[in-house]
Chains A and B, each alone.
Chain A
Amino acid sequence: EADIYQTPRYLVIGTGKKITLECSQTMGHDKMYWYQQDPGMELHLIHYSYGVNSTEKGDLSSESTVSRIRTEHFPLTLESARPSHTSQYLCASSRGLDEQYFGPGTRLTVT
């Protein structure tokens, strides 16, 4: 079973606030990913990292930023939240060219 954690699980916040979504894994995986998924819709990759100090933008343009200072930690930050950011954010990790394991997700609502 994958040990990957996300906090908070649910967040309701007002427009213009800065938010950080936390993601941590205890498996020692080098590779970590952030996906965005609207209800009933596809997963979209927004950021990924192949190791410490390595971050890249994904396929879907996002106003969020990420950092990877420690192997186990891959937080996502929105400097100024907007209603268009309302979505579910899923963090995943992988050891290599193989399967990705997902965290429980953060459901974000921006009012």
Chain B
Amino acid sequence: QKEVEQNSGPLSVPEGAIASLNCTYSDRGSQSFFWYRQYSGKSPELIMFIYSNGDKEDGRFTAQLNKASQYVSLLIRDSQPSDSATYLCAVNRVDSSYKLIFGSGTRLLVRP
């Protein structure tokens, strides 16, 4: 079992819809959770981070964390074709080594 799991996709949604991206992690002690967006051939760009259970909203993005279920998700409202990218979930290592564990990413395709 991978430490951070994501469905590789592609997740295809029509323009204007809500895209829901999911991530599960194995280490119950993890405290920090990050979502990165990576366009093809580019480097990852941080779009959201969340530390506490519940929802955190930033513009069209909402991160949701459920530590009991070891589950973190990213919702993208009013999806645009420019949102088409791979979304990486990252979780901090419990050994406090300042390292992140990255999932393999979910590819999102927003259809015009």
Contact = CB atoms under 8 A, between A and B. Distances in A.
Interface residues of B, number: 21
A48 B100 CA distance: 11
Contacts, number: 45
B17 interface: no
Contact of A102 (B45, B99, B104): B45
Interface in A15-40: 31, 33, 39
Nearest to A94: B98
Interface of A: 31, 33, 39, 41-43, 45, 48, 50, 58, 90, 94, 96-105, 107
Nearest to A106: B43
A104 B90 CA distance: 19
Given A98-B32, A98-B49, A99-B49, A45 B99 contact: yes
A101 B98 contact: no
B35 to A, nearest CB: 10
A102 B44 contact: yes
A74 B66 CA distance: 36
Nearest to A59: B99
Nearest to A43: B102
A96 B88 contact: no
A58 B76 CA distance: 33
B80 interface: no
Interface string B9-35: 000000000000000000000001010
A39 B105 CA distance: 12
Nearest to B2: A42
Interface string B33-56: 010100001111110010000000
Contact of B43 (A39, A48, A99, A103): A103
B11 to A, nearest CB: 15
Given A101-B46, A102-B44, A48 B99 contact: yes
B92 interface: yes
A94 B42 CA distance: 19
